[in-house]
Structure 1
Amino acid sequence: MKNARRRISTIFATLGMALVIVAVTPGVASAHGYVSAPPSRQAQCAKGTVECGPIKWEPQSVEGPKGLRDCHGGNAQFAELSDDSKPWQAASVGKAVDFTWTFTAAHRTSNFEYWIGGTKVGDFNGNAQQPPNGLTHNVDVGGFSGRQRLLAIWNVYDTANAFYACVDIQIN
């Protein structure tokens, strides 16, 4: 009888500790994505086109507060994405460019923004929906020429964060 009580007490104690662990473990963000075509800087890192640090293993993780205008989303560990002295390959494009996103986990979307310098060149409403993998936006870059760094931003609907990707393009 004592052994049975001890076993039951052990089982309840173990269950109670498991519940405490689950209750205090912070949630993990399930939304991640980046521009895969033309290859963004993090896509180039993932492919080994440019030598990079930890972003090589997680190109979808350049997440930061909404409103930033840097390639690394304010994440110091990915700061090399904002380093223009690295040998980033520029995709040769015309006056309109199709930007394709890869999502490893979709999140409801406010909008997608595209910037060259301080000029917004594209804005696409996400309608608070989860985007499909391979989503493509056609962006008019006709007001620019030569080599440009375009910043693509995926603004998440139900968090204060966004995902950032810089794409180097050569506008012909």
Structure 2
Amino acid sequence: MFTQRIRRAAGAALLGLLPLLGVTAFAGTAQGHGWTQNPASRQDHCASGAVTGCGEIQWEPQSVEGPKGFPASGPADGTICAGGNGRFSQLDDPRGAGWPTTPLTSGANHEFRWQISVSHATSSWRYFVTRDGWNPNQPLSRAQLEPAPFLSLDYGGQRPPSVFAHSGTLPNKSGHHVILAVWDIADTGNAFYACSDVRFS
């Protein structure tokens, strides 16, 4: 009888802990952080279903995390759009220049927008663009990008809100280009990467 009471009490205690254990397990495995929605990134197109055959990234658009320090270090050439993460290699596939493009006005002011699922202390937000004459049929490399970002925003270690937007001036370009957005994290060795196919007019 005494043993049965102990078993019942232990079982009740375990049942009471299950919700807490579930929350802890979920929080411990959360890998996601953020991605660009304006201009729409490749992972955003995959998550929305506008592009199919994307593999795992369709469920994890926020997870394109790789080493920071770009362009001096960071993801290897040909793996930049996936942040060097082989799980998301579909983002590096140029698809015959077939990714949907966001129309932009050359030299205009633009509101850049990120969706943030897990906030981080942030060093900066930086935006690179492909050179004139780049080859849209090849995976993105440093040689295809202008060497310096056309826009940088110092964030001073602050944590961004769940929807982070800021304005900046677009480069003077025409036709199809790729904008590479880099979100540099202040308190880890990583950054988040997002490639957006755009068409300047």
Which TM-score applies when normalising by structure 1?
0.80
Q: What's the % identity of the aligned pairs?
A: 39
Q: Does 1:107 align with 2:117?
A: no
User: What is the CA–CA distance in structure 2 between the aligned matches of 1:77 and 1:38, rounded to whole Å?
Assistant: 23
Q: Does 1:71 align with 2:81?
A: yes
Q: Does 1:47 align with 2:84?
A: no
Q: Does 1:80 align with 2:90?
A: yes
Q: How far is the alpha carbon of 1:30 from its aligned partner?
A: 6.0
Q: Which has the higher strand share?
A: 1
Q: Which amino acid aligns with 2:37?
A: S
- CA-atom RMSD in angstroms: 2.7
| Correspondence list, 1:111-130, <5 A | 111-116=124-129, 117=145, 118-130=147-159
For the residue of structure 2 that corresponds to 1:119, the secondary structure is coil
For 2:162, the equivalent position in structure 1 comes to 133
For 1:155, the equivalent position in structure 2 comes to 184
Q: How far is the alpha carbon of 1:31 from its aligned partner?
A: 5.8
User: What is the CA–CA distance in structure 2 between the aligned matches of 1:115 and 1:29, rounded to whole Å?
Assistant: 28
Q: How far is the alpha carbon of 1:142 from its aligned partner?
A: 2.9
User: What is the CA–CA distance in structure 2 between the aligned matches of 1:32 and 1:60, rounded to whole Å?
Assistant: 5
Q: Which amino acid aligns with 1:143?
A: N
What is the CA deviation profile of residues 63-88 of structure 1, one whole-angstrom value per residue up to 9, with x for unaligned ones? 01103361110001111112112521
Q: How far is the alpha carbon of 1:108 from its aligned partner?
A: 0.7
The number of equivalent residue pairs is 161
User: What is the CA–CA distance in structure 1 between the aligned matches of 2:152 and 2:32, rounded to whole Å?
Assistant: 20
User: What is the CA–CA distance in structure 2 between the aligned matches of 1:156 and 1:61, rounded to whole Å?
Assistant: 13
> Any unmatched runs of 5+ in structure 2?
11-24, 130-144
Q: Does 1:58 align with 2:87?
A: no
User: What is the CA–CA distance in structure 2 between the aligned matches of 1:145 and 1:98, rounded to whole Å?
Assistant: 19
For the residue of structure 2 that corresponds to 1:46, the secondary structure is helix
User: What is the CA–CA distance in structure 2 between the aligned matches of 1:161 and 1:154, rounded to whole Å?
Assistant: 9
Q: Which amino acid aligns with 2:190?
A: N
Q: Which amino acid aligns with 2:188?
A: T
> Any unmatched runs of 5+ in structure 1?
12-24
- Of residues 134-143 and 84-93 in structure 1, the stretch that sits farther from structure 2 once superposed is 134-143
Which TM-score applies when normalising by structure 2?
0.69
Q: How far is the alpha carbon of 1:133 from its aligned partner?
A: 2.1
